[in-house]
């Protein structure tokens, strides 16, 4: 099954004009890596289940062909009761995106926002399924606004760049 999200071409545009318009389409969605550990079972089934849940998330992308990019969204969920690990689930959900005729800024936005937003429902379902199959109540992973995360990342990079240029003296090489 292929999911596609194309940027809509203008009505009345010629075939050549349409080929030069920005395009973004999902070519393939797949699970790249899955890890699940429950090191203290079955003992943890006999204690009151009031775990402390920790979640980490990461997204990265790389070019795999001319206009094709792989986006990988990784989520790790760890459940602990006192000092004992109940379970640790880690999933890498990935997609191949076709991205054409866009600026570098638009490309980064597509890979940092559209890719993870597309993958997020898939990775949530995979994690919930793993946890349920291990015999635990489902963990509700809250929705995430990847646009806000991307804007925060841009602002942080801008702040660091401004701090870096004002903190370092100018150097002239002749």
pLDDT for 21-49, tens place per residue? 888 999 999 999 999 999 999 999 999 98
**Residue 60 is encoded by which pair of tokens?**
């990265």
Instruction: Determine the pLDDT at residue 157.
Output: 86
Check pLDDT > 70 for residue 158: yes
User: What 8-state DSSP symbol labels residue 15?
Assistant: H
pLDDT band (50, 70, 90) for residue 10: low
pLDDT for 141-154, tens place per residue? 889 999 999 999 88
Question: What are the CA-CA distances from residue 123 to residues 21, 65, 134, 145 (Å)?
Answer: 31, 24, 17, 15
Q: What does the alpha-carbon distance between residue 58 and residue 107 come to, in Å, rounded to a whole number?
A: 18
Sign (positive or negative) of CA dihedral 104, 107, 113, 116: negative
Check pLDDT > 50 for residue 166: no
Instruction: Determine the pLDDT at residue 18.
Output: 64
pLDDT band (50, 70, 90) for residue 61: very high
**Residue recorded with tokens 């291990």:** 134
CA-nearest of 7, 1, 26, 32 to 115 is 26
CATH assignment of 21-164? Answer: 3.10.420.10
Check pLDDT > 60 for residue 170: no
Residues of 77-115 as b/e, b for ≥16 C-beta within 10 angstroms? bbbbeeeeebbbbbbbbbbbbbbbebeeeebebbbbbbb
**Residue 51 is encoded by which pair of tokens?**
């775990």
Can you state the angle between helices 146-167 and 115-133, rounded to 10 degrees? 120
pLDDT for 97-148, tens place per residue? 999 999 999 999 999 999 999 999 999 999 999 999 999 998 888 899 999 9
Check pLDDT > 70 for residue 12: no
Q: Are 53 and 139 in contact (CB under 8 A)?
A: yes
């Amino acid at each position: 099954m292929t999911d596609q999200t194309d940027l809509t071409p203008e009505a009345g545009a010629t075939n050549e004009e349409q080929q030069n318009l920005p395009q973004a389409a999902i070519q393939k969605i797949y699970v790249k890596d899955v890890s699940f550990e429950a090191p203290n079972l079955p003992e943890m089934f006999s204690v009151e289940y009031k775990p402390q849940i920790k979640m980490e998330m990461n997204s990265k992308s790389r070019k795999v062909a001319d206009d094709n990019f792989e986006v990988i969204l990784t989520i790790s969920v760890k459940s602990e009761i006192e000092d004992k690990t109940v379970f640790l689930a880690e999933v890498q959900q990935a997609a191949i995106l076709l991205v054409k005729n866009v600026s570098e800024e638009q490309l980064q936005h597509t890979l940092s926002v559209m890719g993870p937003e597309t993958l997020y429902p898939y990775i949530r379902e995979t994690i919930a399924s793993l946890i349920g199959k291990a015999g635990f109540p489902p963990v509700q992973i809250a929705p995430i606004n990847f646009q806000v995360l991307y804007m925060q990342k841009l602002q942080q990079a801008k702040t660091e760049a401004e701090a870096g240029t004002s903190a370092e003296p100018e150097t002239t090489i002749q």
